[in-house]
Every structure is written in structure tokens, then in C-alpha cells.
């Protein structure tokens, strides 16, 4: 997958894109992430890329010309172009899975009070938000999007099944995890996890996922129980127990 990132602050990306899973994916040429400094395409002698908004208002707005030129330089026409914006569609797993199918995409990081609307309209940009809050720019949201999408790209995690076992992908929040030592400061790892009984371990993990999802994200649990045909008989018993417990609490 090739990802072009257009930003006023390319230096922000190196600590994230060069390390850990993303760094290895780049090194192994699974991901081709390219940074473009929008200021390089400003025709102003001071590399100015923003100006005061027409009609007044606080802050500055990114100018159309430098962004247009940067988009043309990366040959963005015909590609999926995302603009990280608090007014955009909220990033969720459905959108992440959809983006993971793309071979190429372009991400524009806004800054200041936003960008000239003509950029969005002319380039048919898809506005994407990472939540109902305001950040200083689109760089951090872009990193979140890339990290989430990259995990869905085959070979990035080294296992085609790895991401499906994690929180959200399965439809439930992830169960508690433990590692060595078996006992730490008087706190023991649950006995079932060291029993070697794989079926019992799986059922324990499933039950804990249900409990956590019910407690913290009941909206996910509501969606999950709409399709339970794939569950085993033992899993259905556990789900029934969790739902009965919910009824009693009501």
C-alpha cells in the first residue's frame, strides 16, 4: 500500500512511522509511506501557506494554491483522498477495513482553523474525524488512521489472523491478558490460563470479553447478539448467562 501524506509538519511523523510495526512494514516494503511538505509548494518567498479567512474570524486558513500544487505533485487525481477533519465521518472499523482494500491513498493534514473549502470540493475529498474533540492539526489523526489501516493489510502483523483476535475486530472488547511471572506481589494469574486446557481457556476468555463489553460498551454487545449463529453450544450458554445477569441487574 502506498500512502502519500501532505502536511506542514513532516517531522512529526518520523517517530511513529519509523518505529515498531509500521517501521518494519516500511522496511519490508509492505507499506510505502511518503511525506510531502506543503510549504515546498508555496510560491511565496517566505513559504507562506496560510492566510486570514474572508469574512473574518479567529485564526488562519490554509491556502488553496500550495495544497493544490502538492496534490498535483503526488498525482492525487483519481486516488482516494482523505482530509483529517473534526467535521468528517468518524473513523470506525468499517471504514478502516474499507481503506485497507486501497492500493494507494492520499492524506491531507489540515492545520490552524482549517483549509480553503475549494480544496475539498475540487479534489472530492473524504473528510474523516477521529473523535468529537479538537486537535491542533491533522497530523496526529493521520497517524491514528494509518496505524489502524496498516494492521489490516496482509503481512503487516505477520499473521492473517492476528488482528481478528483483538478488541473490536471480533465485535467484543478484548479479554484480560497476563504474562510471567505467574504470581506478582501476591496477585495470581487466573488458574484456568495455566491449566493447559485450551477449550476452557477459550471459554474463560470469551466470558471475560462479554463481561467487559457489557460493562464498558453495551452498544457493541447489542450489535454482537444480533448474529449468534456462529457460536458454539458452550459459547451460547455463556452468552445467555451474561444476558440473564443483565436482566437481573435491570
Angle at 137 between CA 67 and CA 7, to 5 degrees: 35
Nearest-angstrom CA–CA distance, 35 and 14:
10
Domain ranges of the chain: 2-150, 183-249
How many other CB atoms are found less than 10 A from the CB of residue 76? Answer: 21
Does 131 belong to an annotated binding site? yes
State the number of CA atoms in the 13 A half-sphere of 203 facing the CB. Answer: 17
Residue with cell 478502516: 96
How many other CB atoms are found less than 10 A from the CB of residue 189? Answer: 15
Q: Does the pTM exceed 0.75?
A: yes
Does 110 belong to an annotated binding site? yes
Does 38 belong to an annotated binding site? no
Sequential pLDDT tens for the chain (250 residues)? 999 999 999 999 998 988 998 999 988 899 999 999 999 999 999 999 999 999 988 889 999 999 999 999 999 999 999 999 999 999 999 999 999 999 999 999 998 889 999 999 999 999 999 999 989 999 999 999 999 999 999 888 865 455 445 545 578 999 999 999 999 999 999 999 999 999 999 999 999 999 999 999 999 999 999 999 999 999 999 999 999 986 665 5
The answer to whether 2-150 and 183-249 have equal CATH topology is no
Does 132 belong to an annotated binding site? yes
**Pairing status of strand 183-184 against strand 104-109:** unpaired
State the number of CA atoms in the 13 A half-sphere of 171 facing the CB. Answer: 12
Return the pLDDT at 169.
54
**Pairing status of strand 80-90 against strand 104-109:** parallel
Residue with cell 471459554: 203
Query: Class of the 183-249 domain?
Result: mainly alpha
Q: What are phi and psi of 27, to 5 degrees?
A: -60, -35
Nearest-angstrom CA–CA distance, 246 and 67:
53
Q: Which fold has domain 2-150?
A: Alpha/beta knot (3.40.1280)
Q: Where are the alpha helices (DSSP H) in 88-231?
A: 93-99, 117-122, 139-150, 198-216, 218-224
Does 145 belong to an annotated binding site? no
Amino acid at each position: 500500500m502506498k500512502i502519500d501524506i501532505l502536511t506542514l509538519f513532516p517531522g512529526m511523523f518520523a517517530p511513529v512511522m519509523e518505529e515498531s510495526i509500521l517501521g518494519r512494514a516500511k522496511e519490508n516494503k509492505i507499506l510505502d509511506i511518503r511525506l510531502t511538505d506543503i510549504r515546498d509548494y508555496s510560491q511565496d518567498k517566505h513559504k507562506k501557506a496560510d492566510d486570514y479567512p474572508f469574512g473574518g474570524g479567529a485564526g488562519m486558513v490554509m491556502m488553496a494554491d500550495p495544497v493544490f500544487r502538492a496534490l498535483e505533485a503526488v498525482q492525487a487525481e483519481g486516488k482516494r483522498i482523505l482530509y483529517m477533519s473534526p467535521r468528517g465521518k468518524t473513523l470506525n472499523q468499517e471504514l478502516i477495513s474499507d481503506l485497507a482494500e486501497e492500493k494507494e491513498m492520499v492524506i491531507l493534514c489540515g492545520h490552524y482553523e482549517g483549509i480553503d473549502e475549494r480544496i475539498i470540493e475540487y479534489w472530492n475529498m473524504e473528510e474523516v474525524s477521529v473523535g468529537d474533540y479538537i486537535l491542533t492539526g491533522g497530523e496526529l489523526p493521520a497517524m491514528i488512521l494509518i496505524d489502524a489501516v496498516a494492521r489490516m493489510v496482509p503481512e503487516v502483523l505477520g499473521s492473517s489472523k492476528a488482528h481478528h483476535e483483538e478488541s473490536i475486530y471480533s465485535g467484543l472488547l478484548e479479554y484480560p491478558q497476563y504474562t510471567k511471572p505467574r504470581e506478582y506481589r501476591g496477585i495470581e494469574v487466573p488458574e484456568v490460563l495455566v491449566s493447559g486446557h485450551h477449550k476452557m481457556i477459550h471459554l474463560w476468555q470469551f466470558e471475560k470479553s462479554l463481561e467487559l463489553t457489557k460493562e464498558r460498551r453495551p452498544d457493541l454487545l447489542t450489535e454482537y447478539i444480533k448474529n449468534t449463529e456462529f457460536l458454539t453450544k458452550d459459547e451460547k450458554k455463556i452468552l445467555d448467562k451474561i444476558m440473564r445477569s443483565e436482566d437481573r441487574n435491570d
